[in-house]
């Protein structure tokens, strides 16, 4: 597995991955907009043949990063893909001198919460009713650098 910057050729696979993983998936057009966006840090995990295993998208503003999405192909889960993507963002954050990287996660998503906590993220609070389909609270997690 290798972690690379998102390229235009990844967009169709990422859009399929979004539809497989999320109730409100990002479209191919929305993903493509991130290629030219000044704040996007989108990284893709690929296998040896270049196949997409997963991706993470973060927006970097001043001294903070906000993870918008983290998705792993269902066939590639529990193989370290998400952990590698988070480690890549942590290395980026440290190199850029970020104060923190933050994210939201459904409070019922125990596997994701375990992943984030295992990667050093701490729970900062809750956003009531943040998610739809179904409506659910979001737990706010942050990885602090300073």
CA-to-CA distance for 64 and 119, rounded, in angstroms? 17
pLDDT for res 134: 87
Q: What is the pLDDT of residues 76-86, one digit of tens each?
A: 999 999 999 99
Dihedral sign from CA coordinates of 65, 6, 32, 20: negative
Dihedral sign from CA coordinates of 27, 37, 119, 133: negative
**42 located within any domain:** yes
**74 located within any domain:** yes
114: β partners:
none
**13 located within any domain:** yes
pTM for the model = 0.92
**92 located within any domain:** yes
**99 located within any domain:** yes
Asked, as a colleague might, if the bond just before 21 is cis with ω within 30 of 0, I would say no
**Which structural domain range is residue 50 located in?**
2-104
Q: Going by DSSP bridges, is the β-strand pair 64-72/122-131 parallel, antiparallel, or unpaired?
A: unpaired
pLDDT band with cut points at 50, 70 and 90 for residue 104: very high
Residue 59, domain CATH: 3.40.630.30
Q: What is the domain count for the chain?
A: 1
pLDDT for res 146: 75
Q: What is the pLDDT of residues 59-99, one digit of tens each?
A: 999 999 999 999 999 999 999 999 999 999 999 999 999 99
Q: In 3D, which of 138, 8, 146 has the Cα closest to residue 67?
A: 138
- Of 18-27, 44-53, 63-72, 74-83, give the lowest mean pLDDT range: 18-27
**78 located within any domain:** yes
CA-to-CA distance for 117 and 92, rounded, in angstroms? 19
């Amino acid at each position: 597995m290798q972690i690379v910057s998102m390229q235009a050729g990844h967009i169709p696979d990422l859009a399929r991955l979004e539809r497989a993983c999320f109730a409100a998936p990002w479209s191919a057009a929305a993903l493509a907009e991130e290629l030219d966006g000044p704040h996007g840090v989108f990284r893709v995990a690929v296998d040896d043949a270049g196949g997409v295993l997963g991706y993470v998208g973060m927006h970097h503003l001043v001294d903070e990063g906000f993870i918008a999405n983290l998705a792993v192909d269902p066939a590639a889960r529990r193989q370290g893909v998400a952990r590698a993507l988070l480690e890549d963002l942590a290395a980026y954050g440290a190199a850029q001198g970020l104060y923190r990287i933050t994210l939201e996660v459904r409070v019922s998503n125990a596997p994701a919460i375990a992943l984030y906590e295992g990667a050093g993220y701490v729970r900062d609070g809750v956003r009531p009713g943040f998610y739809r389909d179904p409506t659910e609270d979001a737990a706010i997690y942050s990885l602090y650098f300073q």
